[in-house]
Amino acid sequence: MDTFEAFSIDPGQAICYSGFRDGQRPGAGIPTYEQVKEDLLILQNDWKYLRLFDCDEHAEVVLDVIRNEQLDFRIMLGAYIEAEMNNFNCPWGGGIYSRQELDRNAYVNQEKIYKLIEFGNRYPDIISWLSVGNEACVDWTDHYVHEDKVLEYVNQVKSEAKQPVTFCENYEPWLSKLSKLAEAVDFISIHTYPVWEYKNIDEALDYTKENYYSVAEKYPDKPVVITEAGWTTHSNGKGIDPANVSEHYQKIYFEKLLKWVTEENILTFYFEAFDEAWKGSPEPMEPEKHWGLYRTDRTPKLVVSV
C-alpha cells in the first residue's frame, strides 16, 4: 500500500474523545449509551473524525452509538498498552511496578491487541485507523513499553486488520529512538504540547510547527499526523505556569492551530472534546482535568461559545 494512501480522506476536523463524566473513570463506571449519544450529537456538526484511546467497553458503546444512530463519524481506535518495563525516570514516581504487575500488564496488553484487531474487523465502516499504544516510549511515561515490543504489536495488527496502523507518541522519541517503528507503521502520529514545555501563547504555534516539521523532515516518505495538540484552561502550578493558561489562550491556540493545519492539510486531532475530572491528581486545578473544549457538565468554553 502506498503509505500516503492512508490520508486520502474527506475534509473534516478531528478531535480526541473520551466521555468519562464526574464519578466515572476507566475501570470504574463508563458513560451510558444515552450519555455518549448526547456527546456525539454535540460534536457532530463540527467534527468528523474522533480518536478513541482504548478498545474497551466505552469504545464499544461509542461505536454502537455511531452505527445505530447513523452518525457521520470516522474513528481512530487505540489500544492503551500498560507498562511492561519499569521507568525510573518518571518524574512523578509512577513508573515502578513489581515483576508480577509487569507480567500481568504484558498479558493484558496482548488481550487488548486482540480486541483492537477484533474491533477493526467488526466495524470496518466506522474505524479508519488503528493505533497501538499511547505515549508508551517517551522518557517520562509511567507506562513504559520497549519500542521493540511496540513494533511486535504493530506488525501483529498490520497482519490481521485492514486499517492503516500507527503508534501515538510525543514528537521527541520519533527523533531519537523510534526509527525502526517509523519504518513499520503506515503513518507516524505525534503529540505536541507547547504549554507543557513552558511556552507562552505567543510562542505556541511556532513551537508546534517546529515539533511537527522536525519529524516530517526526518521521515520524508512517511505521512505524519498530529494525534494530540491542545491547551488546558487551568493549572495548579505543577508543570504548567498558571499565567500561561485560560479559556482566552485556549481559543487563541485552537484558532491558530486550526488555520495552519487546514492550510497545510495536516490531519490533526485536537485534545480534547470534554474535560475529565478523573484525570491527574485530586487537586481541582490539576491541568490534566481541563483540556476540553467543553466542561464536564457539557457547557461550552469560550473557544466553542457562539
pLDDT of 136-176, one tens digit each? 999 999 999 999 999 999 999 999 999 999 999 999 999 99
- What global pTM score does this model have? 0.96
Instruction: Give the whole-angstrom CA distance, residue 270 versus residue 143.
Output: 23
How high is the pLDDT of residue 166? Answer: 98
How high is the pLDDT of residue 11? Answer: 73
pLDDT in tens, 199-237: 999 999 999 999 999 999 999 999 999 999 999 999 999
Tell me the H-state helices in 145-304: 147-160, 171-176, 179-184, 201-218, 247-264
Instruction: Give the whole-angstrom CA distance, residue 73 versus residue 63.
Output: 9
pLDDT in tens, 81-110: 999 999 999 999 899 999 999 999 999 999
* 116 close to 55: Cβ distance less than 8 angstroms: yes
Q: Is the dihedral of CA 139, 273, 249, 188 positive or negative?
A: positive
How high is the pLDDT of residue 102? Answer: 98
Domains of the chain by start residue, with CATH: 3-229+269-274 (3.20.20.80)
pLDDT at 4 over 60: no
Residues in the chain, overall count? 306
How high is the pLDDT of residue 10? Answer: 74
What interhelical angle do 99-122 and 57-68 show, nearest 10?
10
Tell me which residue has cell 513499520.
184
Instruction: Give the whole-angstrom CA distance, residue 168 versus residue 170.
Output: 7
Instruction: Give the whole-angstrom CA distance, residue 293 versus residue 304.
Output: 7
Residue 3 pLDDT level (bands cut at 50, 70, 90):
very low
How high is the pLDDT of residue 1? Answer: 37
